Amino acid sequence: MLPFKLVYSDDYYLPIGSHVFPAEKYKCIHDRLLASGIVTPSDFLVPSPASDEDILLVHTPQYVQKLKSGTLTALEELQLEVPFSPELVRAFWLAAGGSVLAADRALDDGVAINIGGGFHHAFPGHGEGFCMIHDVAVAIRCMQRDGKIRTAMTVDCDVHQGNGTAVIFSRACVPSNPFPRSSASNPGRNIARGAHPADVFTISLHQLNNYPTFKPPSSLDLDLPDGIGDANYVACLGDALSWGLSKLRPELICYLAGADPYCEDQLGGLSLTIEGMKARDALVFQIAKAEGIPVMVTLAGGYALKLEDTVTIHCNTVVSAKEVFGGG
């Protein structure tokens, strides 16, 4: 049994048909974790859908109304890049509920993992890049509304920049001191951009030459060059976390453990190995534990040529949390 909870529902499945987004990955991860004996059935919590009130903490009433009435324009549906359906709306409300539950449990247990979520391309008034609702932002705003936290930090390690996250939490940004570059995270040119927000500090490590073309400023963006490997990536992440934590000491870290920095990802252009991805997860968990900051995890993207690799990378995030936070 784990010393923390995993949040999962079979209804996380996204009804989008044959698609580069492997909607079945959530169930595959759940099943693999159980079959391998890494977790037991009692480690899982089943979420309820977020309430409309929760969703409206982040998203505009007009957008929510369009989703609930099925009246997105053709352009809006195109931008979403997944086929709209009422079932898809329900799946995203559930993913948001899962992240709210994971955030809540992380505050109690030190860590919690949503075996879903991480839809960081959703904006207040529109969805894009397979993301309809920004579950992580909804979770942060719910925790703040309920007086459980005042501050949070998002640590986005998906290969694609967290543009929705950056915009949602962009209020009160002011210029900050330059990001101090160590030799390990300095590939010869400046890859860091930054601004400093009031209550939520957003960090994004992503491939520069990738979607989204326009990358709105996070509190700290690391625009990584193509093909960066395990050692340099982990060094960049370490520097980013140290610098971020020197700017804001959050009451909750929201870690988006995207599987798409993997070298065999179809939508990514970085060169991390499966072992490097696990080292990345371990670093986030070790720092959160050392600093005594609760961490909630969402999965975000993952489009490996072989689905089993995506599943392995996401399962390893659970294994890594188990190794760092104990539980045998």
Cβ-based neighbour number of residue 321 at 10 Å: 29
Shorter beta-carbon distance to Zn ion: residue 194 or 269: 269
Q: Tally Cβ neighbours within 10 Å of residue 77.
A: 14
The CA angle 55-120-239, to the nearest 5 degrees, is 130
Least Å distance between CB 327 and Zn ion? 29
DSSP run (H or E) holding 237: helix 230-247
Is the Cβ–Cβ distance between 22 and 312 less than 8 Å?
no
Q: Considering beta carbons, is residue 260 or 281 the nearer one to Zn ion?
A: 260
According to DSSP, the β-strands at 220-224 and 200-207 are: parallel
User: CB 114 → Zn ion: shortest distance, Å?
Assistant: 16
CA distance 300 to 163: 13
Give whichever of 203 and 245 is closer to Zn ion, judged by the CB atom. Answer: 203
Q: Closer CB to Zn ion, residue 48 or residue 266?
A: 266
* Residue with Cβ nearer Zn ion (160 or 280): 160
Residue ranges in contact with Zn ion by CB under 5 A: 158, 160, 258, 260, 301
Least distance in Å: CB of 52 to Zn ion? 27
Q: Tell me the closest approach of the beta carbon of residue 21 to Zn ion, in angstroms.
A: 10
Report the phi/psi class of residue 135: left, alpha or beta, with left for phi > 0 and alpha for psi in -120 to 50. Answer: alpha
**Which helix (H) or strand (E) segment is 288 a member of?**
helix 274-291
136 closest CA partner among 12, 293, 295: 295
Between 250 and 301, whose beta carbon lies closer to Zn ion?
Answer: 301
In the numeric block, which tokens belong to residue 233?
A: 């990536």
Q: Which is nearer to Zn ion, 197 or 301 (CB)?
A: 301
Is the CB of 29 or the CB of 293 nearer to Zn ion? 29
CB of 258 to Zn ion, least distance (A): 5
Report in angstroms how near the CB of residue 70 gets to Zn ion at its nearest.
26
- Under DSSP, the state recorded for 183 is S
Task: Say how far apart CA 291 and CA 271 lie, in whole Å.
Answer: 29
- CA gap 110, 244 in Å, rounded: 19
Nearest of 227, 230, 286, 229 to residue 255 by alpha carbon? 286
Q: Could you tell me if 247 and 176 are in contact, meaning their C-beta atoms sit under 8 angstroms apart?
A: yes
For the CB of residue 183, give the shortest distance to Zn ion in the complex, in Å: 28
> Cβ closer to Zn ion: 216 or 301?
301
What's the sign of the alpha-carbon dihedral 159, 160, 165, 167?
positive
Q: How far is the CB of 304 from Zn ion (least distance, A)?
A: 12
Smallest gap from residue 158 Cβ to Zn ion (A): 4
Q: How many CB atoms lie within 10 A of CB 147?
A: 7
